[in-house]
Structure 1
Amino acid sequence: MTACGTDYLNKEWLSRSYILVYSFFVYFFPLFAIIYSYFFIVQAVAAHEKNMRDQAKKMNVASLRSSEAAQTSAECKLAKIALMTISLWFFAWTPYLVINYAGIFEGKKISPLATIWSSLFAKANAVYNPIVYGISH
């Protein structure tokens, strides 16, 4: 195989173990790290928003924000960005993982076109991820 990807057609244990270890470090570990990080970021922003609301109550004002900023809370915006980022990452890399696992576990016959598209879609994540951040900010 001369493509930019893994050799899932080779049935030797070394090739199969490489894909299994590769999938852990390139798929599962980053996915859980992203979810873990965004969970605590959203949690910290929610705590900050709660403190801001409590401070506003102490000062007898409706909000410490301007009327424009008060329409959407920061935690809501951040939660949307986090959900979008995690979803895009998941949808980008899951077909690549499925193709590799189908290859090493001999689940289905894999067409070269499916391999190319899954690889292209996964690696295009580096292109559309900044676009999502740009649009959301």
Structure 2
Amino acid sequence: MGVFSILGVVLNILVIVVTVRHKQLRQPLSYALVSLAVCDLGCAVCGGLPTTVTTAMGYFSLGRVGCTLEGFAVAFFGIASLCTIGVISVERYIVVCYPMGAVRFQTRHAIAGVVLSWVWSFVWNTPPLFGWGSYELEGIKTSCAPNWNSRDAGNMSYIVIYFSLCFAVPFSIITVSYVRLLWTLRQVTKLQVSEAGRTHRVEVQVARMVAAMVLAFLVTWLPYASMALAVILDSTLKIDPLIAVLPVFFAKSSTVYNPIIYVFMNRQFRNYAIPTILCGWNPNAPEEDTSDAEPTVASSYKSQRDL
């Protein structure tokens, strides 16, 4: 947990710093990617690192207020992250499925989507702070989360609404967007090589990167969500704490995957990130401008505008 948390902090800070420093990376998609990096950074700092410390100590040492604050922070950043991925999936759907500009996803749309994601998460994670629902210890009692186990009517009503609006709705948007997107990509692969076809391949590469990020998020968070839903639906279900903690730790490790995927699957970002890490030295500099075959985020939008 400590290794993943520290890596999550370092890599997500790298994504934020590199994107802010280089205006070539400031495309509509990048606003959502930076928002996602901020969410992952928040989860690592407010969830992963405290959980590492309290688990090493063997008990939760932050008190009742600390439990509430940690549970709120992790839930807030986690749901904002899921909603942001929903925004990214819609953006990819629009760009890939409407490449000729019939529907345009612009910077203002990306910013609006990011703001809506954060506001939506804040609205639905604050009720436990005022008595509707609660944040309680979970698993081996070294971390806190929304109280899935209480059968109190008020708590149950909150959890059911929370799960429906903060997980089911974003998950449905992601699913619908990517089903349509994958169907379009299947059609794109049948096109002959042409200028339009090359532009489509640019979009396809970026779409694959985002699809990997979506898949990584869902794979890490679905076990936790499934466990919580099972506990909600079956009041007699008892899960051993050592088993229950596995989805918790697995979910909190998700903060490291998105920046890794972004760095390794985006050549343009990699060309800016490597000099940042190596204090200005870029071992790939001599060949970075010799080929335009590999797509980038910026070239994706440039090609779309050119069309």
Q: Flag whether TM exceeds 0.5 (same fold).
A: yes
Query: What is residue 261 of structure 2 aligned with on the other side?
Result: 132
Residue among 162, 177, 192 paired with 1:22 = 162
Q: Distance in 2 between matches of 1:128 and 1:64?
A: 29
TM-score (norm 2): 0.32
The residue correspondences of 1:40-119 to structure 2 (distance < 5 A) are 53=194, 73-106=201-234, 108-119=237-248
Q: Deviation at 1:53?
A: 2.9
User: SS state of the match for residue 125, structure 1?
Assistant: helix
Cα pair distance change 1:129/1:12, threshold 3 Å = same
Q: Deviation at 1:17?
A: 2.0
Q: Distance in 2 between matches of 1:101 and 1:124?
A: 20
Q: Distance in 2 between matches of 1:90 and 1:21?
A: 20
Q: Deviation at 1:136?
A: 0.9
Native 8 Å contact 1:38 1:82 kept in 2: no
Q: Deviation at 1:95?
A: 1.0
Cα pair distance change 1:84/1:102, threshold 3 Å = same
Unaligned runs of 5+ residues in structure 1 are 56-62, 66-71
Q: Distance in 2 between matches of 1:17 and 1:38?
A: 31
Q: Distance in 2 between matches of 1:88 and 1:73?
A: 23
Cα pair distance change 1:26/1:116, threshold 3 Å = farther
Q: Distance in 1 between matches of 2:249 and 2:169?
A: 21
Q: Which amino acid aligns with 1:119?
A: V
Q: Distance in 2 between matches of 1:30 and 1:129?
A: 18
Q: Distance in 1 between matches of 2:165 and 2:254?
A: 17
User: SS state of the match for residue 73, structure 1?
Assistant: helix
Q: Deviation at 1:34?
A: 3.9
Q: Distance in 1 between matches of 2:198 and 2:172?
A: 35
Q: Which amino acid aligns with 2:222?
A: T
Q: Distance in 2 between matches of 1:10 and 1:75?
A: 46
Native 8 Å contact 1:9 1:103 kept in 2: yes
Unaligned runs of 5+ residues in structure 2 are 1-135, 138-142, 267-307
Cα pair distance change 1:7/1:64, threshold 3 Å = closer
Q: Deviation per CA, 1:69-96, whole angstroms, max 9, x where unpaired?
A: xxx9213312322321221121122111
Cα pair distance change 1:134/1:8, threshold 3 Å = same
Cα pair distance change 1:29/1:123, threshold 3 Å = farther
Query: Identity of paired residues, percent?
Result: 24
RMSD between superposed Cα atoms in Å: 3.3
Q: Deviation at 1:28?
A: 2.0
TM-score (norm 1): 0.64
Query: What is residue 68 of structure 1 aligned with on the other side?
Result: none
Q: Distance in 2 between matches of 1:15 and 1:123?
A: 24
Q: Distance in 2 between matches of 1:129 and 1:136?
A: 10
Q: Distance in 1 between matches of 2:198 and 2:195?
A: 10
Q: Which amino acid aligns with 1:115?
A: A
User: SS state of the match for residue 4, structure 1?
Assistant: strand
Cα pair distance change 1:133/1:32, threshold 3 Å = farther
